[in-house]
A and B are shown apart, each in its own frame.
Chain A
C-alpha cells in the first residue's frame, strides 16, 4: 500500500520528468526567440508569445491588426532600421477575386505595419509561375504594396538568385534562392491557403518554393521532401496565412469551376509546420495526408501536435 510520502514522491518524480521532457521544446522556442533581435521598447511585450494566432471575421486589414496585437505589435518582429522581405504568393496572372494569389489588401496592410515599426526598406517579391510582370499587375499586389511604400522587386530573372546550401536537408542540398530573401533582416512569409493539384495543398511551406529559381528540380527530386527541405534554409520570422477566401478545388491556378469557402480567417505563427497543420484543417483536409508536413516535423521544423500549443482563437 502506498504511503502518503511515497505518493508525494511519485508525484514529484512525474512532475519533474514531465518538466524535463518538455524542456527541449521550450528551450527550442527560447532559442528561436533568441535568434531574433529583442523587440523595441515602444511595444509592450506580452508575457509569452502565442504559438498560433487565428482571427476570424472582419476585413483583411482589421484581421491583421488584431492578430499582431497578440504579439505586441509588429515591433516584436521588426526593429528600427531593419530591412524586411515579404514573400506573398503572386504565382498567377489572376484577379484577387480568384484567390489564387495572396490578397493585396493584406499585403498592403502588412507593408504599412512594417514601415510603422521603423523598417528601413520593405521589399515584396515572388517568383511567379505565370509571366512575372503580368502576375504582379493582375494580382494587384504590385499596386497595393507600392501605394503603402514597399519596393516591389522582380523575381523572374535568374540573376536575382544565389546558390545556397541547405544544412540538414534530406534531398535538396543546394538551391538558388532570391537574393532579397537572403539579404533581408526580417523575412515574412505571406501565403494564401488553397487547393493544389500537385502538392495537395499550398500554404506556408509550399509558398517558400516561390523564393527559389529552379522549381523543376523539386519535382524531379521528389516534391514533398524538397518542400520540407527548402524550409530548412531560412526560417521565416513570421508566417501569415491568408485564409479569407480559400479555393477548395481547381488549385493552384483557379478556374471558373473552382469551388470556394470563405473562412474569413487570418492565421499567424512562427512555426511553419504548425501553421500548415491548422491551415490544412481550415481547408477541410487531414494534415497527415500531406507528406511534406510530416517530413518537416521530422526535420524539427515545427510540430503538428497543435493540442500542446498556445492557440489564440479570436473573433472580430
Chain B
C-alpha cells in the first residue's frame, strides 16, 4: 500500500524531531564537555528549562512570592524563579508531553540507544506500581532533605553527572589536557547509573522515563488530560501494528488502536511509519465517548472491511482475536476506564495498589533521608564545618546548599578554575556529589560568577559580581610558625600576592623581611592564599568553609597606602626628567 501524503508528512515530522532533539543534545553535551570553547548562554538556557531543576527553583520562587511577595523586589525575584517551571507545566497541560522528546538530554541518549539496539519492539503493559512508588520516593527524599539521593532518579542530574564525571574526563584524556583527577567512585557511580539507563534503553526504549523518572511521571499525568495531544484516529487506523514496532516507549498497541497517553514521549516514530496517517496530534473529537465509540467504529469498519483488498478472513479472525484481548484488558480495568462492574472494581483495585506502592515509596524516601541524616548527624560537630566543606558563593549556607543542589555537575564541568569538585560527604551523605571548592586544585576567581549564573536548581542564588566579591564563604587561618619568611628567613609572600581583597598583606616584620598579616574581616575565603602557599607538606595558610556565609567588610581605601617612612624617595615623574 502506498503511503498517503499525510503519512509522508509524518516521516518528515519524525526526522525533524530527531534533528531538533539532536541539536538540543549537542548543546548539552558540548556545554558540558568543552566549557572553554562552547559559549555559556545556550547551556544556561537549556539548564534553566529542565523540568526537575526548574521545579526546585520554582518552589523557591513560590516561597518568595508567598511569604515575601509584599516586598516588591522579592516578589519579582520569586516570579523570575517560577517562570520556566510554570510555563513548562502549563504548556505540557495544554499541548502534551513534548518535553521528553525535545528537551531532555538523557531522553535523547536513550533514543539513540534504542535505535542502535534495534530491538523488536511491541506494546508492553505499563507498570503503574513501580512508577507511583518511584515518584513518591523521589518527592519524599526531596522533602526529607536528601535531594542528593533523590537526584539519582532525576534525568538532568543523571545526564549531567555522566557528562561531567565520565565523558568530560575521557575527552580531556584523549585531548591530553590537564585535569584534576576525580575519585574513581564518582566516575564509577555516575557511569554505572548512565550505563544502566542507556543499556536498558537498548532493549526496552524509554523504560526509565516511564517507570522511574519523576519528570516523566508528572508530565505523563498531565499528558493524559491534555486537550491537544498525540492520538490514534480509530476511524482511519487499519490496525496494522507498525506503530507498535517502532514506538520508543512501548506504549502503543496498534492492533488495538490504543495509545497509552501517560507513557507517550512524543518521539513521533509512530507518526513516521503510520501508513494511513492515523496517529495524529490534535483534539480527539472521536474519542469523546471513549471505549464504546472505539468499539462501535471497530465493528463498523469490520463491516466495511470488504473494501480493503486484503484477505478478509484473515483480518476478521485477527480482529476477533484483538477484540477478545481488548475486552479482557478492559475487564481487568488496567488501562482504560470502562463502566462495567468488573472494570470498576478492577479500577479500584489498581488505584489501591498504586496508592499502596506510593505509600511504600514515601516510606522508603523518608526512611532513606532520615537514615542519611542520622549518619551525617553523627559526624556533625556544631557550627564547625568538616574540612574541605566550602560551598560555592550564592549557596548562602552549607545546610541550604545540601538541601537544594541536585548535583547535576554543570558548575563542576564549567568552573574555569576546575575547583568545583563533587563532595565526598563533606556536606553530609544526603548531599553526595554536591560540589565543594577544592583549594588544593586552585582558587575561586575573584571576578568570576560562572557557577552562580549557571545553576538551574536555585541552589546558588544569583549574585552580582560586586555582591559575589563581598560574599564570605570561608575564612583563612595563618600559622606563622610554618611560614617560609619566619621559618627560613627568605622572602615569600605568595599568599599576599594572590589575595584579591588584601586580607593577607606583607608588612615589614622584626626580621626586616615582609611578613604576612591577616585581617579576617575582609577575607572572603576564596582560597587564593591557601592554593598559593608553597609550604609543604602542611600549608602555613589554609581556608576552611563557613557553615553560614557572611558579608565581608569593604577593604579600607588606605590599606596599601601606609604613611611613607621618613626619607624614602618619592618618585616624581612630572618634571620630564629621567630618574636615572
Please determine whether A224 and B491 come into contact, CB atoms closer than 8 angstroms.
Answer: yes
- Pick the residue among B491, B494, B576 that contacts A216 (CB under 8 A): B494
Closest A residue to B494 using CB positions = A219
A133 to B491 Cα, complex, angstroms:
29
A255 to B501 Cα, complex, angstroms:
7
- What are the interface flags for B441-452 relative to A under an 8 Å C-beta threshold, 1 for contact and 0 otherwise? 010011110000
Please determine whether A134 and B497 come into contact, CB atoms closer than 8 angstroms.
Answer: no
Residue A252 lies at the interface, judged by CB distance under 8 Å to chain B: yes
Please determine whether A216 and B571 come into contact, CB atoms closer than 8 angstroms.
Answer: no
Please determine whether A222 and B488 come into contact, CB atoms closer than 8 angstroms.
Answer: yes
Please determine whether B484 and A220 come into contact, CB atoms closer than 8 angstroms.
Answer: yes
Binds A, one of B8-16, B20-28, B152-160, B552-560: B552-560
Residue A39 lies at the interface, judged by CB distance under 8 Å to chain B: no
Given that A134-B447, A255-B502 are known contacts, is A220 also in contact with B536, CB under 8 Å in the complex?
Answer: yes
State the Cβ distance, B421 to closest chain A Cβ, in Å. Answer: 16
Residue A313 lies at the interface, judged by CB distance under 8 Å to chain B: yes
Please determine whether A263 and B497 come into contact, CB atoms closer than 8 angstroms.
Answer: no
Residue A157 lies at the interface, judged by CB distance under 8 Å to chain B: yes
Please determine whether A134 and B416 come into contact, CB atoms closer than 8 angstroms.
Answer: yes
Given that A222-B490, A282-B580 are known contacts, is A256 also in contact with B557, CB under 8 Å in the complex?
Answer: yes
| CB-CB contacts below 8 Å: B459-509 with A | 484, 488, 490-494, 496-502, 505-506
Please determine whether B570 and A284 come into contact, CB atoms closer than 8 angstroms.
Answer: yes
A263 to B502 Cα, complex, angstroms:
26
Residues of A within 8 A of B559 (CB): 250, 255, 257
Please determine whether B445 and A134 come into contact, CB atoms closer than 8 angstroms.
Answer: yes
Please determine whether A198 and B494 come into contact, CB atoms closer than 8 angstroms.
Answer: yes
Closest B residue to A199 using CB positions = B491
Residues of B within 8 A of A196 (CB): 493, 497
Please determine whether B445 and A315 come into contact, CB atoms closer than 8 angstroms.
Answer: no
Please determine whether B580 and A219 come into contact, CB atoms closer than 8 angstroms.
Answer: no
Residue B317 lies at the interface, judged by CB distance under 8 Å to chain A: no
Please determine whether A253 and B500 come into contact, CB atoms closer than 8 angstroms.
Answer: yes
| CB-CB contacts below 8 Å: B522-567 with A | 532, 534-536, 555-562
> Which label, helix, strand, loop or mixed, suits the secondary structure of the B interface?
loop
Residue A11 lies at the interface, judged by CB distance under 8 Å to chain B: no
Residues of B within 8 A of A252 (CB): 497
Residue B67 lies at the interface, judged by CB distance under 8 Å to chain A: no
Residue A288 lies at the interface, judged by CB distance under 8 Å to chain B: no
Please determine whether B561 and A257 come into contact, CB atoms closer than 8 angstroms.
Answer: yes
Given that A198-B491, A198-B497 are known contacts, is A311 also in contact with B580, CB under 8 Å in the complex?
Answer: yes
State the Cβ distance, A117 to closest chain B Cβ, in Å. Answer: 28
- What are the interface flags for A150-173 relative to B under an 8 Å C-beta threshold, 1 for contact and 0 otherwise? 000000111100000000000000
Please determine whether A130 and B445 come into contact, CB atoms closer than 8 angstroms.
Answer: yes
Given that A196-B497, A284-B570, A291-B491 are known contacts, is A257 also in contact with B556, CB under 8 Å in the complex?
Answer: yes
Residues of B within 8 A of A133 (CB): 36, 416
Residue B340 lies at the interface, judged by CB distance under 8 Å to chain A: no
Residues of A within 8 A of B561 (CB): 249, 257, 259
Closest A residue to B442 using CB positions = A131
Please determine whether A93 and B446 come into contact, CB atoms closer than 8 angstroms.
Answer: yes
Closest B residue to A279 using CB positions = B580
Please determine whether B555 and A255 come into contact, CB atoms closer than 8 angstroms.
Answer: yes
Given that A197-B514, A198-B492, A253-B497 are known contacts, is A158 also in contact with B178, CB under 8 Å in the complex?
Answer: yes
Residues of B within 8 A of A222 (CB): 488, 490-491
Residue A258 lies at the interface, judged by CB distance under 8 Å to chain B: yes
Closest B residue to A274 using CB positions = B580
State the Cβ distance, A55 to closest chain B Cβ, in Å. Answer: 10
Say which size band chain B's interface belongs to. 35 or more
Residues of A within 8 A of B71 (CB): none
Closest B residue to A216 using CB positions = B534
A130 to B498 Cα, complex, angstroms:
8
Residue A138 lies at the interface, judged by CB distance under 8 Å to chain B: yes
Residue A261 lies at the interface, judged by CB distance under 8 Å to chain B: yes
Please determine whether A198 and B178 come into contact, CB atoms closer than 8 angstroms.
Answer: no
Residue B382 lies at the interface, judged by CB distance under 8 Å to chain A: no
Closest B residue to A54 using CB positions = B578
Please determine whether B484 and A281 come into contact, CB atoms closer than 8 angstroms.
Answer: no
State the Cβ distance, A228 to closest chain B Cβ, in Å. Answer: 12
A255 to B31 Cα, complex, angstroms:
34
Residue A264 lies at the interface, judged by CB distance under 8 Å to chain B: yes
| CB-CB contacts below 8 Å: A31-50 with B | none
Residues of B within 8 A of A56 (CB): 576, 578
A250 to B499 Cα, complex, angstroms:
10
Residue A231 lies at the interface, judged by CB distance under 8 Å to chain B: no
| CB-CB contacts below 8 Å: A234-262 with B | 248-250, 252-253, 255-259, 261-262
Residue B569 lies at the interface, judged by CB distance under 8 Å to chain A: yes
Residue A278 lies at the interface, judged by CB distance under 8 Å to chain B: yes
Please determine whether A249 and B560 come into contact, CB atoms closer than 8 angstroms.
Answer: yes
- What are the interface flags for A209-231 relative to B under an 8 Å C-beta threshold, 1 for contact and 0 otherwise? 00000011111101110000000
Please determine whether A157 and B177 come into contact, CB atoms closer than 8 angstroms.
Answer: yes
Residue A96 lies at the interface, judged by CB distance under 8 Å to chain B: no
State the Cβ distance, A263 to closest chain B Cβ, in Å. Answer: 4
Please determine whether B502 and A306 come into contact, CB atoms closer than 8 angstroms.
Answer: no
- Pick the residue among B493, B514, B562, B571 that contacts A263 (CB under 8 A): B571
| CB-CB contacts below 8 Å: A105-136 with B | 129-131, 133-134
Given that A216-B494, A220-B534 are known contacts, is A253 also in contact with B499, CB under 8 Å in the complex?
Answer: yes
Residue B573 lies at the interface, judged by CB distance under 8 Å to chain A: yes
Residues of B within 8 A of A264 (CB): 573
- Pick the residue among B416, B490, B532 that contacts A131 (CB under 8 A): B416
- Pick the residue among A57, A159, A249, A306 that contacts B178 (CB under 8 A): A159
Residue A175 lies at the interface, judged by CB distance under 8 Å to chain B: no
Residue B185 lies at the interface, judged by CB distance under 8 Å to chain A: no
- Pick the residue among B497, B502, B535, B580 that contacts A129 (CB under 8 A): B497
Residues of A within 8 A of B580 (CB): 54, 277-278, 281-282, 306, 311
Given that A129-B498, A224-B491, A282-B571 are known contacts, is A257 also in contact with B506, CB under 8 Å in the complex?
Answer: no
Question: B-contacting residues of A (Cβ < 8 Å)?
Answer: 54, 56-57, 93, 129-131, 133-134, 138, 156-159, 196-200, 215-220, 222-224, 248-250, 252-253, 255-259, 261-265, 277-278, 281-286, 291, 306, 311, 313, 315
Show 22 A/B contacts (Cβ-Cβ < 8 Å), sorted by A.
A54-B578, A129-B498, A130-B445, A130-B446, A131-B416, A131-B417, A157-B177, A159-B176, A198-B514, A220-B484, A220-B535, A223-B492, A253-B500, A255-B560, A261-B571, A263-B579, A282-B571, A282-B579, A283-B571, A284-B568, A284-B571, A291-B491
A-B CB proximity, top 10 nearest: A198-B493, A284-B571, A216-B534, A250-B560, A219-B534, A222-B490, A197-B506, A197-B496, A249-B560, A278-B580
